[in-house]
Amino acid sequence: MSSSAKHALYRGIGIGESAVYGKLRFLGSKKSTPAPQFRDRQTEERDFRDTLDRARAETEALRKRTLASAGAEAAAIFEIHEMLLSDPDFIDLVISGISKGLPAAVAVSEAGESLAAMFESIDDEYLSARAADMRDIASRVRAILLGESDYSESGDSSDIIVARDLTPAETAKLDPDRVAGFVTFAGSVNSHTAILARAMDIPALIRAEEFSSDLNGAPAILDARTSTLSVFPTPEEMSDFADELRRRDAEKSRLRTLASLPAVTKSGKKIALYANIGSLPEAEAAYKSGAEGIGLFRSEFLFIGREDLPSEEEQFRAYREAARLFADRPGPVVIRTLDIGADKVLPALHLGIEDNPALGSRGIRLCLAHPELFRAQLRAILRASAFGKTAIMLPMISTASEIAATRKLLSEEKNRLRFEEVAFDESIELGIMIETPAAAIMARELGRECDFFSVGTNDLFQYTLAADRQNQSLSYLYTEGGEAVMRLIRMAADGIHASGDGKWLGICGEMAADTALTEQLISLGADELSVSPPYIARVKERIREID
């Protein structure tokens, strides 16, 4: 390594959030096995069929292992592999190869390659990525036929695996405790490999610039965040990496300790600390951060960036996933109904252009104007409530009649579900966002109509100060205007608390994450704070310091 020990930087696409140090280890340079010889047709066929059984059993074992290490989503691909292993198109192709005089191992490779090429020819990124699955199962069957040893047993804790393209099975066999990360020259961000890598929390660099396998054994830093692989890192890089590692370890252990501690003030007041999320992967992050519930699940992610509207079924599945995930946490998953206005693109609704979208038909106003859209969402949320505590939250409420109109739709949909004998939580809570000054001022009246309030401080600020948050020249209003907003929050808190026992006030805007305000928000009467997952630990730390 002395003469070739030259520092080099390779770029690619980083998967994951971490950086690792390790020795490069090339896969695919397996020990060479003698070329298989054709025996007779019956023997080859029998070997092939026996091998299929073994391959299915191995796949089942991989599925279970992945289920335990990376969850159901990641494990599902192995069910597909099992089906591919049993697929008559694949089996027939191999048998026909054998009948032409090919040894089983060769026939398997050729069949796998020809089906993989078929997938690659389909003009669809996802389906062409299935070529890797086809090659994967073929190479596994071939390896069993040839009795090739399994590389996965020989890893040590600091290896960065390098391969042309890791198959999902190879990726799943990599034990995160022994393998630092991996680099592939091919692959795509949609490939199962990339998805599995994320789920298993292994940093990866895919579509990396090619380098020679002469670098086998070379030390390297793989940084998924900068999408680089530094081979023979410079002393400065090494010391930066060591600093980063120490910082991350300290932070990690501090956060781990905090995640399991309750959010209680010194005097024993319990604050519900929930997470704001806008997608399902964030739900996972929220769960890991120790959030006791979801205080704001923005449902817009299901609606934006597409030509049509999500079906009730599609929404149901997304909400159910979050509800199931948090079923063992004390708090609910609060799903905010579609909060969208003319400033967001929603082609399917043909929204007219408004001069002033911030003051236009948005949030609850838009939902009530499109009852079919709204009903589908309410039904999806109701159905999800059978799988874990769920709540409904309405955005942009300014009058009690908006809540009453929603209640009417909600009770009709509940009746329909009862009639259809579809399960839902009969005691599902209905809450509203406090975003308009009108809602805060009328808190007593609105409080009677619902179960909880959650203050959207960003919008409340902008509507109270009549100031656009994006406008830099108005920033003084945001520094000096806080007291006006705080008084409105107090009105909201007093209103909801006076409306009935067990009714609560949450804060889900940016203010909730500002630890300089935590004490004040609690003294105003906040029962719940909802912040994005990375802030959970910090806010919890602050709550625990407060008297």
Partner 1 sequence: MQSFNHTLNCVGGLHARPAGVIVNAAKQFSSDILIRKLSAEGAKEADAKRLISLMSLGARKGETITFYINGPDEAAAAEKLLAVCRETVG
Q: How far is the CB of 119 from partner 1 (least distance, A)?
A: 7
Q: Does 130 bind partner 1 (CB under 8 A)?
A: yes
Rounded to whole angstroms, the Cα distance separating 403 from 409 reads 10
Q: For the window 258-297, what string marks contact with partner 1 as x by the rule CB under 8 A?
A: ----------------------------------------
Q: Does 80 bind partner 1 (CB under 8 A)?
A: yes
Rounded to whole angstroms, the Cα distance separating 139 from 167 reads 9
Sequence-distant (≥ 6) Cβ neighbours of residue 159 within 8 angstroms: 22, 23, 24, 25, 178, 179, 180
Rounded to whole angstroms, the Cα distance separating 62 from 69 reads 10
Of positions 74, 77, 194, 397, contacts partner 1 by CB under 8 A = 77
Closest CA to 56 of 23, 92, 85: 85
Of positions 40, 50, 79, 545, contacts partner 1 by CB under 8 A = 79
- Per the CB < 8 A criterion, the answer to whether 13 and 228 are in contact is no
Of positions 32, 35, 68, 88, contacts partner 1 by CB under 8 A = 88
If the CB atoms of residues 193 and 230 are measured against partner 1, the closer one turns out to be 193
Going from the C-alpha of 434 to that of each of 52, 225, 391, 535, the distances in angstroms are 61, 37, 16, 22
Site for partner 1 in 99-128 (CB under 8 A): 115, 118-119, 122-124, 126-127
If the CB atoms of residues 307 and 426 are measured against partner 1, the closer one turns out to be 307
Rounded to whole angstroms, the Cα distance separating 514 from 537 reads 12
If the CB atoms of residues 135 and 542 are measured against partner 1, the closer one turns out to be 135
Residues 199, 203, 207, 212, CA torsion sign = negative
Retrieve residue 506's tokens: 């949450």
Of positions 84, 195, 493, 511, contacts partner 1 by CB under 8 A = 84
Whether 192 is catalytic is yes
Q: How far is the CB of 135 from partner 1 (least distance, A)?
A: 13
Rounded to whole angstroms, the Cα distance separating 162 from 231 reads 12
Q: Does 314 bind partner 1 (CB under 8 A)?
A: yes
Secondary structure of residue 12 in the 3-state scheme? coil
Q: How far is the CB of 116 from partner 1 (least distance, A)?
A: 11
Closest CA to 116 of 139, 97, 143, 96: 139
Residue 413 host element (H or E): helix 400-419
Stretch that binds partner 1, among 52-60, 77-85, 234-242, 354-362 (CB under 8 A): 77-85
Q: Which is the catalytic residue, given 192, 367, 450, 497?
A: 192
Q: Does 78 bind partner 1 (CB under 8 A)?
A: no
Of positions 83, 304, 369, 466, contacts partner 1 by CB under 8 A = 83
Which residues of this chain interact with partner 1, rule CB under 8 A?
76-77, 79-80, 83-84, 87-90, 115, 118-119, 122-124, 126-127, 130, 133-134, 308, 311, 313-314
Residues classed as catalytic: 192, 508
